[in-house]
Amino acid sequence: MSYDFAFVKWGQDDLGRSGGTVTWSVSLVGLDFNSSQFSLADFEAALADAFQAWEDVAEIDFEQHTGSGAADVAVSMSFLSGSTVGLATYYFVPGSNDGDNIDTIVEATIELDDSEFWSPFGQNGNLDFYAVSLHEIGHVIGLDHVNDSSEIMNPVVSATGLGDGDIAGAQYIYGASGFFVYGTASSETINRSTETVDVTIFGYGGNDTLIGGSGDDSLHGGSGNDSLTGGSGNDVLIDTLGSNALNGGNDNDILVGGIGTTDGSGGSGGDILIGGVGNDDLSGGSGNDTIVGDPDGAFFFGNDILVAGSGTDFLEGGLGADVFVFSTNQGTNTIGALNVNMSNPGATSAIGADFESGIDILDLSGFGFSSTTEVFAAITDTSGDAVFSFGGTTIRLIDVLEAELDSGDFLIA
């Protein structure tokens, strides 16, 4: 596996940083091919696939240019002398970071030999339009030739796709593929629900609506009162400023609030919800969830509502007068001070008491009790903890005994 870097790149001139959006256009005037077997659209599709192959592995976004003005990369047919079948040329300016020796590409061209006989993917033994385009695009993004014939960047193109070195080189320059979207200081909606790659969205200022796609997304609200929706995938939603609504969606999500109120819903999957210092409303949804009303060690705190949902859940209200909401058939649940493993919700453990009699409330209104006498009949002390068990739901209060509880600790209607 090998690659070589030409010390030029698109976008930010830091290695491993996104190349941003690069547009391309194509003119196939002069292309020689078997028109009874292929169309110009077949070659244009092969070229689009070549750009997409690089985009799939590195943090650079190629888009075909359809509007007025020039594209960033212009692909055309041209006579090339000798054995040269493709030629990439780029134009660059000095990078903004002094001393890093990396220049910024501002424009590029790719010429393909119009004296050759081509097929879209090398069919019938003809010259492979896709593979040669893939090679030349490699130059356009900053890669040089290598001696390994298994790599597309070998000067004699025999590979038909990206090799391990090609991929490593592109990721060295731009970072691994993902999708970064940056908002503004204004209120706006950024909707990436159709994306299948991992999306990172920064809302910045304003009251924003951020929507992720089906990848493992990371959404950051910034200042303002924001609405963040992860969608499917294992998402991270962080919004520590303002009053915000966080919806993880499907799969295993992490939701983190902060100053102001947080209305958080984990959705399905094993989720972690951390409320912040405001009066928060946190619902785990289905799956095995960890729900924390106030962050550990917070000086300020809120009066939180924590809704368990189905599954095996761990809940910690923190300081303040908190309400824990349960209903029937919600599995095994634990209320206590928690040791939260942010990378593995299943590794969360209880390390002490959290529920405070006379301050916190267990909302059992979904069980159909007519009196708190019925509630106490469903509670037993087990290993130093008061354990409520009724209607398919178990609630363990860590380091709290039944005798320490009062009828005022329960809401039954």
What is residue 218's three-state secondary structure?
A: strand
Span 350-371, mean pLDDT? 96
Cα–Cα dist 277/320, whole Å: 10
User: 394 falls in which pLDDT band (50, 70, 90)?
Assistant: very high
Which run of H or of E encompasses 45?
helix 40-57
Q: Is the pLDDT of residue 360 over 50?
A: yes
What's the sign of the alpha-carbon dihedral 65, 215, 42, 139? positive
Which run of H or of E encompasses 166?
helix 164-174
Of the listed ranges 26-35, 195-204, 375-384, the least confidently predicted one is 195-204
pLDDT at site 143? 97
Of the listed ranges 130-144, 275-289, 398-412, the least confidently predicted one is 275-289
Q: Which residue has the tokens 């002390």?
A: 381
Listed residue (296, 294, 255) closest to 278, CA to CA: 294
pLDDT at site 100? 58
Burial 22-31 (b: 16+ CB within 10 A, else e): bbbbbebeeb
Span 351-379, mean pLDDT? 97
Structure pTM?
A: 0.62
Cα-based distances in Å from 296 to 191, 303, 339: 33, 15, 9
pLDDT at site 299? 43
What is residue 48's three-state secondary structure?
A: helix
Strands 393-397 and 385-390 come out as antiparallel
- Extended beta strands in 221-269, E state: 227-229, 236-238, 244-247, 254-256, 262-265
Q: Is the pLDDT of residue 297 over 70?
A: no
Convert the pLDDT of each residue in 128-168 to its tens digit. Answer: 999 999 999 999 999 999 999 999 999 999 999 999 999 99
Cα-based distances in Å from 336 to 236, 273, 392, 398: 24, 15, 20, 5
Cα–Cα dist 355/335, whole Å: 7
User: 305 falls in which pLDDT band (50, 70, 90)?
Assistant: very high
pLDDT at site 346? 74
- The mean pLDDT value of the chain amounts to 91
Q: Is the pLDDT of residue 265 over 60?
A: yes
Span 111-117, mean pLDDT? 97
- Could you tell me the domains of the chain? 8-174 (3.40.390.10), 179-411 (no CATH)
pLDDT at site 244? 93
Q: Is the pLDDT of residue 370 over 90?
A: yes
Token output for 166 = 């090609």
Strands 281-283 and 227-229 come out as unpaired
Listed residue (292, 224, 268, 12) closest to 210, CA to CA: 224
Cα–Cα dist 52/64, whole Å: 10
Q: Which residues contact 271 (CB under 8 A, 6 or more apart)?
A: 248, 252, 253, 254, 255, 284, 285, 287, 289, 290, 345
pLDDT at site 99? 44
Q: Are 165 and 27 in contact (CB under 8 A)?
A: no
Q: Is the pLDDT of residue 49 over 90?
A: yes
Instruction: Compute, in degrees rounded to 10, the torsion defined by CA atoms 170, 171, 177, 180.
Output: -100
% of the chain with per-residue pLDDT over 90 = 69
| Distance linking the first and last C-alpha atoms of the chain | 67
Span 119-133, mean pLDDT? 97
Q: Which residues contact 284 (CB under 8 A, 6 or more apart)?
A: 266, 271, 273, 290, 291, 307, 308, 309, 311, 313
